[in-house]
Amino acid sequence: MAGQVYPSAGSPLPLPATYTKRHHRSHRGGLAGCCCCFFATLCSLLVTLILLLGIAVLVLWLVLRPIHLPKYSLDNVDVRSFSVGQGSTLNANIVYNITANNPNRKIGIKYDAINLETSYDGQVFGHSAIPAFYQGHQNITSVASELNATNFPLRASSATALASQIQSNSVPLFVRADAKVRVKIGSQTSSAFWVRVDCDVVVGVNPAQLISKSCRLKRRS
């Protein structure tokens, strides 16, 4: 008897419940699709932008490649005269021969100025310069710079050491070249920056000769 009550009470209600549930679910699904659409558009825009940027970089690289640093070499140090005189004074006439090599196919280099200073035992006794010039693509240019020092006063101890080094024909000098450089790509020219080359050289005076050299290139701030 009591068993008959259960089926009649349980059966009528479940149907609408499932209906509303399903209805709600489909409505929510539409909203989520809209959100997804917005993000998808944003995503594809971003991807396109990144792709375009990548292509631009690739094209620039393909056009300019390979990008090389210019090379410099101190080919010759011609010591025409070099002597220590009365009162620890130094007289010198030296001609430097420097070769600049720009190996780039699309990059030109403008040298606004190149200044050289030469020192012995920490004392700068001579300055010389190389006038401004433009170096085109894949160009090798050699330039000369002449230094004259007249009665430069050395420290007495340095003068004594130098006199004996001149005797043994082995004089250590320090040469510093500072170049103001700009880079030209197509019609665009960069702003100027400084490049520094420091060289330790050993020269002979009589006979005049370049015995050894060791140079380092660096970017100066």
Ligand X SMILES: *[C@@H]1O[C@H](CO)[C@@H](O)[C@H](O)[C@H]1NC(C)=O
Q: Which is nearer to ligand X, 83 or 93 (CB)?
A: 93
Tell me the closest approach of the beta carbon of residue 148 to ligand X, in angstroms.
4
Sign of dihedral through CA atoms 23, 29, 34, 37? negative
Tell me the closest approach of the beta carbon of residue 84 to ligand X, in angstroms.
17
Q: Which is nearer to ligand X, 143 or 166 (CB)?
A: 143
| DSSP percent split of the chain into helix, strand, coil, nearest 5 | 35, 50, 15
Q: CA nearest 151: which of 213, 207, 90?
A: 90
Tell me the closest approach of the beta carbon of residue 48 to ligand X, in angstroms.
43
Q: CA nearest 111: which of 176, 189, 187?
A: 189
What amino acid is encoded at 206 in this protein? N
SS3 49: helix
Binding site for ligand X (CB under 6 A): 75-76, 93, 97, 135-136, 139-144, 146, 148
Tell me the closest approach of the beta carbon of residue 184 to ligand X, in angstroms.
13
Q: Which is nearer to ligand X, 123 or 139 (CB)?
A: 139
Q: Which is nearer to ligand X, 76 or 158 (CB)?
A: 76
